[in-house]
Structure 1
Amino acid sequence: MSALTTKTDFKHVSYLWDEAEASKLAGDEVGLLIYRSNLLGADLRLTNYGGGNTSCKAMAKDPLTGDETEVMWVKGSGGDLGTLKKSGLAALYVNRLRNLKNIYQGIAHEDEMVELFNHCIYDLSSKAPSIDTPLHGFLPFKHIDHLHPDAAIAIAAAKDGEQITKELFGGTIGWVGWQKPGFDLGLQLRQCLDENPGIRGIMLGSHGLFTWGDTAYESYINTLEVIEKCAEYLESSYGKKGPVFGGQKIESLDAENRKKQAAALAPVLRGFCSSKQHMIGHFTDDARVLEFINSNELGRLAPLGTSCPDHFLRTKISPLVLNLAPDEDLSDIASIKERLAPEFEAYRQMYADYYEACKHANSPAVRDKNPVIILYPGVGLFSFSKDKQTARVAAEFYTNAINVMKGAEAISEYTSLPHQEAFNIEYWLLEEAKLQRMPKPKALSGKIALVTGSAGGIGKAIAKKFADEGAVVVLNDMNAERLQGAGEEFKAAYGADSYTTAVLNVTSADEIAAAFDAAALAFGGVDIIVNNAGLSISKTIADHTEQDWDLLYDVLVKGQFFVTQAAAAVMKKQDIGGDVLNIVSKNALVSGPNNAGYGSAKAAQLHLSRLNAAELGADGIRVNVVNPDAVISDSNIWAGGWAEGRAKAYGITVAELPAYYAKRTLLNKIILPEDIANACFSFAGGLLSKSTGNVLNVDGGVATAFVR
């Protein structure tokens, strides 16, 4: 084994092994497997998110006989190496797994073997075995890594990758040509080892890399060394055949204008990509992406598609390249849509033709024909999928594919999988079965919600309810510190892909525009707007000032109008409808003392909602109202003297207000932020999709506030 054992010995991969941490796991081979796997998964240069698998073989006591038997622990179906835990491993009897070759009837019966893996399970509570299980099982080594590093795949996807591998490693890395993962590939790996004793790994054509060792550390170091050597070879080759990707064809816009163009176009693209179901978007203008999409070779390489199965399963057979200038004037949305519509239709037809040409008698039905990856030369890459994480990961995988193309072109010529082979992976019955086992989407899956004033009180409760139901959320508040706290809370509860933030004062046109740009860049657009931001002032007519009056109307009425105006513009770009929900108040309908400014502003909000509903219905945009009353918990509305003002108006103390409000209702109930959130969900969750211009009172039953 080489002496490369420190961080400084590696330039292209990260050496993360900590001997002190590893020593705590001495004698625990499974623990060391998990430790090694997490280190490998922490470096995206070694493997993609959710890609690759690792294993170890160790002796364990047979629960039936009490005898020592060899058990293989291998990453099970699904999961990610970087976050792998013991619960994500499958544990199988090695002898039983290897004995399956005695009943294997050939590659035509490949899929039948997967069910038989269940007869080999040692730990009945472990994860279901993946299709890659036999690839580890037929190799004799104690620890094995199967990864998809860009540097190795670049060689594996090169036209003469086999010869390059042989020369680069001096025959110490074997080669197995492209073969769909499964039982037969496992047998081929063992045959390669038998024919090349002493090799330290095997390159899989167009696919990835197998490396191993007798200990977890030896496997880890071997893996790093092989990938490091591949990366060094690629780096030394760049420029020898000429400029990367044939050189630059167009100039990128500067960073600010790339973001501006992307924000303007993303809702249009999202609308096209959501023709079958609502999609969530992601945008990146990573330097590696720009180098590719601005190059002379984009037109030749992009249609070829990707080579590694992990790549094209997430990015589709090929991307859509937009025929737009980087500085295209995007202000005339109708014209842009008219130009792009034939491009999307051509892509859908291409995908349909691919399906028809490659399908088998028992193939699953054709899936969504829209592109996942959209390339805008000079601007960046858009990806669209069922949720934010899947869209983001698709963009990461296509960036990996760009790395592969760059490397393969530098040393030889890039080759992608033939369409039939790609189809056989994409529409594999086992892959379809995996998709069918996935949980059904939640009511708001694929939806994007922007809730004003969502860093506390009612707004945060609404945002949480929407996130619970599958939506991604644009959190905003005029208080940056309060907004940061809400963001941290959402990240802990729902993950970083569930939300984005934007400081927003609804009286600022610039901040409104910036918030919708943030929504477009983070997710592709917006589907649900909740106008919740507000304040309250309770004073007598004599005490009211012009400043009070203007502030109430600026925030409540003008704020609601201009946020709705911006939302409608985005929704019309998408052309897939949407919801505007306005949090008004029972005070819009009830006349009470010391409430002229607030109550009249709420009445204006209510009627403005009806006017907007009448105008926007033709675009499939619904506008509805939720009328709360006395929501005291965690609410900003009770700050700034409102509570004192209302208590004074009713002749009671501030401490008596909650009980007073509850007692005056027909149901004698205190209203909580969660009650308002549930009302909002009732409008946006799909059951009331044909309802607009309506008012839903959530006030415990205040008879004087009945709509009549």
Structure 2
Amino acid sequence: MSNTVKNFNYVDYLWDDEKAAKLGDDQVALFLYRSNILGADLRITNYGGGNTSCKTIEKDPLTDEEVEVMWIKGSGGDIGTLTKAGIAGLYTERLRNLKNIYGGLADEDRMVGLFNHCIYDLDSKAPSIDTPLHGLLPFKHIDHLHPDALIAVAAAKDSEKVTKEIWGDTMGWVPWQRPGFDLGLQLEKCLNDNPGIRGIVLGSHGLFTWGDTSYECYMNSLEVIETASEYIEKKIKEKGSVFGGQKVQSLPKDERREKAAQLMPMLRGLCSSENRMIGHFTDSDVVLQYINSNDLERLAPMGTSCPDHFLRTKIQPLVLHLDTNEDLSDTAAVLEKLKPAFEQYRKEYQAYYDTHKRDNSPAVRDANPVIIIYPGVGMFSFAKNKQTTRVANEFYVNAINVMRGAEAITEYTSLPRQEAFDIEYWLLEEAKLQRMPKEKPLSRKVALVTGAGGGIGKAIADKLAEQGANVVLTDIAEDRLQEALETYGRDTAAYAVCDVTQSSSIAEAYKKACLEFGGVDIVVHSAGLAISKPLEETTEKDWDILQNVLVKGQFELAKQAVAVMRKQGQGGDFISIASKNGLVSGPNNVGYGTAKAAQQHMARLLAAELGGDKIRVNTVNPDGVIVGSKIWEGDWAEGRAKTYGITVEELPAHYAKRNLLNEIIYPKDIANGVFALVGILDKSTGNIINVDGGMANAFVR
């Protein structure tokens, strides 16, 4: 970083003069740069939280006159990842002229529709509800942020008095009000009544700051947040304890993770009573300090204060009354203990809805908790996908920081329940939900794929991820896994080094799946090897490794998968990647063919046994997958070529010529077969799909 780093203890100073200089006088680019570095610090604002803007002078394409245009983060965006495509450009004067036709609080929703009549840039993202808050203020660059420290001030009892104590006459304050046009008018009035202020605290909500340049705005925001943070830390030191002190002792980290892995599939199943959910777990020091405290039982039911927080976390968490020494190995007993707590939570959420609903409120949403707290162990969250559940978890951490600060200052206050409900069930929020893209076929599902470091296994993982699943890649080669993981976006995949011949290694892979995503729904046994030798050359070592990897590995994978799936109570899929060689008798293949036949029949046996659990077991039989297959990198290709009296290079064409369709079979073709079984043929079990281009001697029937 080229410039001298400013001294901040509670926020990250990330402005780089060299990077900013390259942007020249492009105020929109500088506003986007500021937005991105602000969004990189979760203490400043969480994913999707807050809003930023700038105002520039542009040529009106209709009149050729110079006009002021406001550029602002569009609806549903995230400042940390904001690009030009995610902003809206509006005529500032037109936006301000809406004051002439504003009809009061009952007119708020209509006003949002009128923002579209103020659009300057036809490529604009839909303007957000915060648009008038920025447009009615005169400053060139504006930040609306949700810093933990500022929301702590905003959510503290006597917030206005505290604001004055911290900043004197340099900061304004407005009481809580739902975002909208009227709140923009309140900000405008606050500035007019207090000329010269550097920002405004929004009661129970957040912060507005500004500057003539992007850098001045950035520094103003950081300085205000730093001042609030210093004030809070001083108060905490004076108080001597946080959250009333410790009530519960945390388990050691390894034990916490073990408990969490055992419990997550059960919690996931309970949270999925209406819709299948994906999980996330955290046991950070911040979380443990709160969930182990004496004040947890008082603070947790109060709910969060900032609208952005409870929109993602629900109005309040579910606190589990489980001891840290609870035996979680007896699934039935644990579920018996947990079910009443979930039933009570759903009942209370329904009562919250019934008590506060309006005549035009959207229908009640999923009544299950999003945030679940296990004192001494950690905090779980469950939502429709990994990003949503991770972000909900992060937002509740923000809420913890807010409660910590507000309690140190005076006393934490949350939004009145009616105000919270009106935000949660706002018709504009409902419209935003309805605009979300349709979920993919495997959304909300978790898949574990063995042999996923490359070849067929990687192709299967790619296909399942493409169709919406979270994937856990396993392989014996960590370097392959690390390379494979880099091909996925954030919140899509995880990996575990796994030797399928070792029960303990398989257990660790499932533990990873549970901790990362909450459990597992699809297991694909693709790990394998091939040995092609005549009977007299096949050694006991050859026999054992084929049996251990292909057969014993499948047995242990299935056994442990079923244990997790039964905890979830949501059914599941187990897919065996076998081979045409399990059905067809051929020379020099006794070890491999026998093992593949065992895989196929084991799948049928498991299908017969597990149907009552809605766990479907099916098989995909590849043949001749040479291009891109790890098996063909070794001696197997040479053995097959020798058997057929051809060269290794001639093998792909040889295999293509011998099938009925005269097609080369690729790893992606096997992946399509797996997807057909787990994503389309949802009432099939005990089946075999041949993906071999058509081999008449391998027809199952």
Both proteins in one fold, TM over 0.5: yes
In the alignment, the residues of structure 1 paired with residue 24 and residue 597 of structure 2 have an alpha-carbon distance, to the nearest angstrom, of 71
Whether the aligned pair in 2 keeps the contact of 1:7 and 1:14 (CA below 8 Å) is no
Matches within 5 A, 1:660-679: 660-679=654-673
1:694 paired residue among 662, 687, 698: 687
Whether the aligned pair in 2 keeps the contact of 1:46 and 1:147 (CA below 8 Å) is yes
Which amino acid letter does the alignment assign opposite residue 706 of structure 1? F
Query: 2:189 is matched with which residue?
Result: 191
Matches within 5 A, 1:396-411: 396-411=394-409
In the alignment, the residues of structure 1 paired with residue 651 and residue 17 of structure 2 have an alpha-carbon distance, to the nearest angstrom, of 62
Query: 1:471 is matched with which residue?
Result: 469
**5+ long unaligned stretches in structure 2:** none
Query: 1:519 is matched with which residue?
Result: 513
In the alignment, the residues of structure 2 paired with residue 540 and residue 409 of structure 1 have an alpha-carbon distance, to the nearest angstrom, of 77
- 1:643 maps to 2:637: yes
Question: How far 1:458 sits from its partner (Å)?
Answer: 0.6
Q: If the length of structure 2 is used for normalisation, what is the TM-score?
A: 0.99
Query: 2:525 is matched with which residue?
Result: 531
In the alignment, the residues of structure 1 paired with residue 419 and residue 448 of structure 2 have an alpha-carbon distance, to the nearest angstrom, of 42
Query: 2:34 is matched with which residue?
Result: 36
Which amino acid letter does the alignment assign opposite residue 403 of structure 1? N
In the alignment, the residues of structure 1 paired with residue 288 and residue 215 of structure 2 have an alpha-carbon distance, to the nearest angstrom, of 38
In the alignment, the residues of structure 1 paired with residue 194 and residue 220 of structure 2 have an alpha-carbon distance, to the nearest angstrom, of 17
In the alignment, the residues of structure 2 paired with residue 212 and residue 395 of structure 1 have an alpha-carbon distance, to the nearest angstrom, of 30
Whether the aligned pair in 1 keeps the contact of 2:288 and 2:377 (CA below 8 Å) is yes
Question: How far 1:8 sits from its partner (Å)?
Answer: 4.1
Show CA shifts across 1:487-522 (max 9, x none): 1222xxxx1210000001100111100000000000
Question: How far 1:59 sits from its partner (Å)?
Answer: 0.8
How many aligned residue pairs are there?
699
Query: 2:358 is matched with which residue?
Result: 360
Helix, strand or coil at the partner of 1:689: coil
Query: 1:250 is matched with which residue?
Result: 248
In the alignment, the residues of structure 2 paired with residue 101 and residue 153 of structure 1 have an alpha-carbon distance, to the nearest angstrom, of 29
Question: How far 1:277 sits from its partner (Å)?
Answer: 1.4
1:634 paired residue among 628, 631, 645: 628
Query: 1:339 is matched with which residue?
Result: 337
Whether the aligned pair in 2 keeps the contact of 1:6 and 1:15 (CA below 8 Å) is no
Query: 2:571 is matched with which residue?
Result: 577
Which amino acid letter does the alignment assign opposite residue 675 of structure 1? D
Question: How far 1:651 sits from its partner (Å)?
Answer: 2.3
Helix, strand or coil at the partner of 1:656: helix
Question: How far 1:6 sits from its partner (Å)?
Answer: 4.8
Query: 1:348 is matched with which residue?
Result: 346
Helix, strand or coil at the partner of 1:502: strand
Query: 1:591 is matched with which residue?
Result: 585
Which amino acid letter does the alignment assign opposite residue 540 of structure 1? P
In the alignment, the residues of structure 1 paired with residue 14 and residue 458 of structure 2 have an alpha-carbon distance, to the nearest angstrom, of 39
Question: How far 1:43 sits from its partner (Å)?
Answer: 1.4
- 1:53 maps to 2:16: no
Question: How far 1:423 sits from its partner (Å)?
Answer: 0.6
Deviates further, 196-205 or 22-31:
22-31
Whether the aligned pair in 1 keeps the contact of 2:628 and 2:666 (CA below 8 Å) is no
Question: How far 1:622 sits from its partner (Å)?
Answer: 0.2
Whether the aligned pair in 1 keeps the contact of 2:627 and 2:652 (CA below 8 Å) is no
Question: How far 1:239 sits from its partner (Å)?
Answer: 4.0
Matches within 5 A, 1:126-275: 126-275=124-273
Consecutive aligned runs of 4 or more in structure 1 exceeding 4 Å deviation: none
In the alignment, the residues of structure 2 paired with residue 609 and residue 339 of structure 1 have an alpha-carbon distance, to the nearest angstrom, of 34
Helix, strand or coil at the partner of 2:471: strand
1:554 paired residue among 548, 554, 577: 548
Show CA shifts across 1:216-245 (max 9, x none): 121111111111100000000004335210
Show CA shifts across 1:113-156 (max 9, x none): 01100111111111111000000011111111100000000010
Aligned CA RMSD, in angstroms, stands at: 1.0
Question: How far 1:396 sits from its partner (Å)?
Answer: 0.4
Question: How far 1:17 sits from its partner (Å)?
Answer: 1.7
Which amino acid letter does the alignment assign opposite residue 156 of structure 1? A
Query: 1:426 is matched with which residue?
Result: 424
Question: How far 1:194 sits from its partner (Å)?
Answer: 1.0
In the alignment, the residues of structure 2 paired with residue 533 and residue 14 of structure 1 have an alpha-carbon distance, to the nearest angstrom, of 45
Which amino acid letter does the alignment assign opposite residue 703 of structure 1? A
Which amino acid letter does the alignment assign opposite residue 552 of structure 1? L
Which amino acid letter does the alignment assign opposite residue 565 of structure 2? M
Show CA shifts across 1:270-314 (max 9, x none): 001111111110000010000000000000000001000010000
- 1:508 maps to 2:502: yes
Question: How far 1:16 sits from its partner (Å)?
Answer: 1.7
Whether the aligned pair in 1 keeps the contact of 2:300 and 2:317 (CA below 8 Å) is yes
Whether the aligned pair in 2 keeps the contact of 1:273 and 1:384 (CA below 8 Å) is yes
Show CA shifts across 1:242-286 (max 9, x none): 521000001000010000000000000000111111111000001
Show CA shifts across 1:536-559 (max 9, x none): 111111111111111111111000
Helix, strand or coil at the partner of 2:28: helix
In the alignment, the residues of structure 2 paired with residue 362 and residue 478 of structure 1 have an alpha-carbon distance, to the nearest angstrom, of 56
In the alignment, the residues of structure 2 paired with residue 214 and residue 641 of structure 1 have an alpha-carbon distance, to the nearest angstrom, of 70
Helix, strand or coil at the partner of 1:40: helix
In the alignment, the residues of structure 2 paired with residue 96 and residue 563 of structure 1 have an alpha-carbon distance, to the nearest angstrom, of 64
Identity across matched positions, percent: 68
1:109 paired residue among 102, 107, 110: 107
Helix, strand or coil at the partner of 1:244: coil
Question: How far 1:350 sits from its partner (Å)?
Answer: 0.8
In the alignment, the residues of structure 2 paired with residue 112 and residue 512 of structure 1 have an alpha-carbon distance, to the nearest angstrom, of 57
In the alignment, the residues of structure 1 paired with residue 423 and residue 5 of structure 2 have an alpha-carbon distance, to the nearest angstrom, of 37
Matches within 5 A, 1:296-311: 296-311=294-309
Query: 1:377 is matched with which residue?
Result: 375
Query: 2:436 is matched with which residue?
Result: 438
